[in-house]
Structure 1
Amino acid sequence: MQSLQGKKAILTGGVQGLGLAMVKGLCEYGVEVCIIDYSNDVEKIAKDMQNEGYSVYGVRADLSNLEKIPEVFHVAVQLLGGELDILVNNAGIHKPMPAIDLPIEDFQKIIDVNVTAIFELSRLAYHEMLKKGAGKIVNIASVLAVQGGYNASAYSASKGAVAQLTKSLSNEWAKKGINVNAIAPGYYNTALNQFILEDESRYQSLISRIPAGRFGEPNELAGALQFLCSDKSNYINGILLPVDGGFLGR
C-alpha cells in the first residue's frame, strides 16, 4: 500500500505474537515504527528488525503506570522524528481464572492496561495528529468484546470497553480527519492462548465453533491493520472488524 510509505507509527505490545506480526506488517509497507512494550527484549527486537533493513525503535515501559504514559509517549514520538501518523493500541494483559477468585487488584490492573492506557495514549496521539489534520488510531479489541468468554471476566470487560471507546472517540474525532477503528482478533496460535492450546477439550470445543476450522496464525492479522492504517480506509470510522475465521458469525 503506497499510502503507508514513510508514515510514522507507535505500536504498543509489539515484542511477540500478534503485536510483532503487526509491526512486521507495517514495516513491509515502509512504515517507521516505535514499539512500546514492557518486555526487556523490546530494544533487542527493534535492533533485530533494524538489521533486516526496517526503521524500528524500542521503548520499554509499563503501561499500568498511568502517570508515566505522557513521558513514554513523547519519547516515542521523538524517536520518530517528532511526527506521528498511526497509533496501534495493542498492549493488553489477561489473567484467566474464575471471577470469584480474581483479586480486585488484578481486575483493576487489567482495566488500567487494556482500557485506561488506550484512552490516554489516544488523547496524546490526537494532539500530534491534529497538527497534520489526519491520523489513524487502531485499537486491538477481541472477539470477547462481543462474546463473554470463559474465566475472562476482567479481560472481556476491558475489551468490551475498548470497542465502545473506539466508537466514542470516532464520533468526536472523525471530523478532524482522524480515523479511530478497532480490530477484534479471534483465536490465534500465540503464547497468550497457550493455556487453551494445552487444554484439549476446550481447544476442540473452540475449533468446532470456528468455521475456518483452525486457530489463526499471527501474520494473518496484519492485512486488516494495513488496510485500516492506509488511505483506503479514510471513510471508515468507529468499526469493530473481526478477524476471527468466522467465529462471531457462527
Structure 2
Amino acid sequence: MSLELFDLRGRRALVTGSSQGIGFALAHGLADAGAEVILNGRDEEKLADAAGRIAGARQLPFDATDHQAVRAAVDRFETEVGAIDILVNNAGMQHRTPLEEFPADAFEKLLRTNVSTVFNVGQAVARHMIKRGAGKIINIASVQTALARPGIAPYTATKGAVGNLTKGMATDWAKYGLQCNAIAPGYFDTPLNAALVADPAFSAWLEKRTPAGRWGKVDELVGACIFLASDASSFVNGHVLYVDGGITASL
C-alpha cells in the first residue's frame, strides 16, 4: 500500500530544460515511476535526441522565457493531447563574474531564464490544474537559494526568488488542490557545472565543505522529484527540499 503512494502511472509530466543534465535525469526518473513525460527545450535537435532515450516521451519545444509562446504551447497541448498533471520547472542558466564587473545584460538574461520561466510556465500550467482541482508543481531551486559564493551574486538572487516564488505559488494555489514545492540541489556533476568539475582546486574545496565528501550524481535527485510529484506529498506545500549532501547543514 505504501509503495502505491509513489506510483505515477496515468499521469503526465512536463519537464522544462530537459534535453540534458538534471532536467533529463528527472524526466527519465519520472518515466521510470510510470509517468508519461513531455520534454521541453529550445534546441529541437537536442530535444529529439533526448526523447529517443526515454520510451514514450513526447516533445514540446518552446522558449520558456517567452510568456505568450509558453501560454500558446501549453494551451494547445492541453486541448489536443490532454492534461499536464505534473510540472517540473527546471530551465536555468549560470553566469560567473565578480559582482562589480557583472554585465547588466547578463543579469537580465539570468532573471529571464531562472525566474521568468518559472512564472511563465507555472502560470500557464496552473490555469488548467486549477480547473481540475489537482496538480503538482516542482521548481528547481539551488543550494544558492540559501547560501552565496563569490562571483555568482545575481544567480544567487534568482534562486532565492525561485524559493520565494514557490512559497507564493503554494499560498495562492493550495486552496485549489495544487501542491507547489521546490528541490534545491547542492553541487552536482552537470553540464552547467562543467568548469567547476574540471577545476581540481574547486573539487577539493567542495569535498571538504560537503559532509558527504563528494559531488552529487544527478540520479540522486530523482527520489525527491518522485516524492513531490506523487500522492506521498499530498500535504507538503511551499517546501524547499535541499538535496545537497549536507552542505546547508554545516559550517
- When normalised by structure 2's length, the TM-score is 0.93
Aligned residues: 245
Shift of 1:78: 5.1
The answer as to 2:23 corresponding to 1:19 is: yes
Equivalent residue for 1:46? 51
The answer as to 2:30 corresponding to 1:29 is: no
In structure 2, the CA distance between the partners of 1:67 and 1:203, relative to structure 1 (3 Å rule), is: same
What is the CA–CA distance in structure 1 between the aligned matches of 2:11 and 2:79, rounded to whole Å? Answer: 14
Shift of 1:11: 0.5
1:189, 1:218 within 8 Å by CA — same for their partners in 2? yes
Q: Secondary structure at the match of 2:168?
A: helix
The answer as to 2:6 corresponding to 1:5 is: no
What is the CA–CA distance in structure 1 between the aligned matches of 2:91 and 2:229, rounded to whole Å? Answer: 17
Give the letter for the 1:160 counterpart: G
In structure 2, the CA distance between the partners of 1:75 and 1:35, relative to structure 1 (3 Å rule), is: farther
Residue deviations 1:92-144, cap 9 Å, x none?
01111112222111111111111112112111111111232111000000000
What is the CA–CA distance in structure 2 between the aligned matches of 1:166 and 1:156, rounded to whole Å? Answer: 15
Compare 58-67 and 26-35 and name the one that shifted more: 58-67
What is the CA–CA distance in structure 1 between the aligned matches of 2:188 and 2:181, rounded to whole Å? Answer: 21
Give the letter for the 1:23 counterpart: A
Residue deviations 1:60-83, cap 9 Å, x none?
33323333221232344457x221
What is the CA–CA distance in structure 2 between the aligned matches of 1:30 and 1:239, rounded to whole Å? Answer: 24
What is the CA–CA distance in structure 2 between the aligned matches of 1:24 and 1:238, rounded to whole Å? Answer: 25
In structure 2, the CA distance between the partners of 1:24 and 1:101, relative to structure 1 (3 Å rule), is: same
1:87, 1:138 within 8 Å by CA — same for their partners in 2? yes
1:43, 1:60 within 8 Å by CA — same for their partners in 2? no
The answer as to 2:155 corresponding to 1:158 is: no
Equivalent residue for 1:183? 183
Equivalent residue for 2:60? 59
Residue deviations 1:182-207, cap 9 Å, x none?
01000011111111112222221121
What is the CA–CA distance in structure 1 between the aligned matches of 2:175 and 2:71, rounded to whole Å? Answer: 25
Give the letter for the 2:50 counterpart: I
Residue segments in structure 2 that go unaligned for 5+ positions in a row: none
Equivalent residue for 2:145? 145
Equivalent residue for 1:167? 167
Give the letter for the 2:66 counterpart: N
- When normalised by structure 1's length, the TM-score is 0.93
In structure 2, the CA distance between the partners of 1:129 and 1:66, relative to structure 1 (3 Å rule), is: closer
Q: Secondary structure at the match of 1:30?
A: coil
Compare 202-211 and 227-236 and name the one that shifted more: 202-211
What is the CA–CA distance in structure 2 between the aligned matches of 1:230 and 1:100, rounded to whole Å? Answer: 43
2:66, 2:120 within 8 Å by CA — same for their partners in 1? no
Equivalent residue for 1:69? 70
Residue deviations 1:202-223, cap 9 Å, x none?
2211211111110011111000
